[in-house]
Amino acid sequence: MSNPSLLILPGDGIGPEVMAEVRRIIDWMSERRGIRFDVSEDLVGGCAYDAHGTPLTDATMEKAQQVDAVLLGAVGGPKYDDLDFSVKPERGLLRLRKEMDLYANLRPAQCFDALAEFSSLKREVVAGLDIMIIRELTSGVYFGEPRGVVVENNERVGINTQRYTESEIARVARSAFELARRRSNKVCSMEKANVMESGVLWRDVVQEVHDAEYPDVELSHMYADAGAMQLTRWPKQFDVIVTDNLFGDLLSDLAAMLTGSLGMLPSASLGAPMANGRPKAMYEPVHGSAPDIAGQGKANPIACILSFSMALRYSFDLGAEADRLEAAVEKVLADGLRTADLMGPEGGSPVSTQDMGSAIIKALDESL
């Protein structure tokens, strides 16, 4: 039986630095746990444009379609700001999402106890927080037609169309219910059914999928604006939240900042099952390419490492190893190690990107 395959796309800025620490953990798993991956590496984003004149070559796109999972670092930077829109680094990322049809974006909001003081909310509200927002990623108002800026009655009019089909809603709802069964068996669906017809359809289809296929999962519905309020009032009332592309974009960033550390958070984008039953998948940290600190050893590798942990869990059925890796991260933070982005007002000496990776590997060794 062949090893699971993983395509690594480090990208731009700090992407190669944080991805190097993931490569060390992959090597650790091979040496210490006998878990081996067939790893290949390629270019995406600005570095791909520099080499090939495009942010994603057809050959790289074909590789991404064939592997069990893609792990991406970050793309972009001011160097590429004046490029034509069609070849900007971000177009490579968007092409991967579109052509792989990665319709379910999983954004965890997890607050490690050691970092609870970084949140703007009270410790008791956020300490131990562990929720998951599933955002529909390939439809909705960002993709609906008609769209654009037109002139009517001698003034400009901006048009965007919110559009969803039953099947688009149903498949992301199934992703939420399946995930809930692996967590606390509870889903809250958020929309604006009080003022939007697409919200009415969203609520109806989610309820229909629940009643027909997942009656064992607890389902609730909430208007998205009320959901935003509740996320800041008492976020621990939620476990899995499923919502559309626009509201998911807003709510996942809100929830991420509840943890006090946007740069710590991973994400996963999942698509339809492949022949092996696993979903097409791409994993990436939420943070950007941070070109201002690239090459200085200041980047925090934890978000990228936790993105690999999500790959272990959702693409490779290695939940126990994902738990081990997440526990190692938690231990290192509890021991007080901090990269520059996690330094509080009390100051101190931050550790480097590589030192943080080494500390996590040491914690993995101690877990055996």
Active site residues: 142, 192, 225, 249, 253
First to last CA, the chain: 26
Evaluate the CA torsion angle 47, 52, 58, 63 in order and state its sign.
Answer: negative
Alpha-carbon distance values, 183 to 95, 179, 215, 293, 317 (Å) = 31, 7, 16, 37, 15
Residue 33: partners with Cβ closer than 8 Å, 6 or more residues away: 321
Evaluate the CA torsion angle 246, 128, 330, 323 in order and state its sign.
Answer: negative
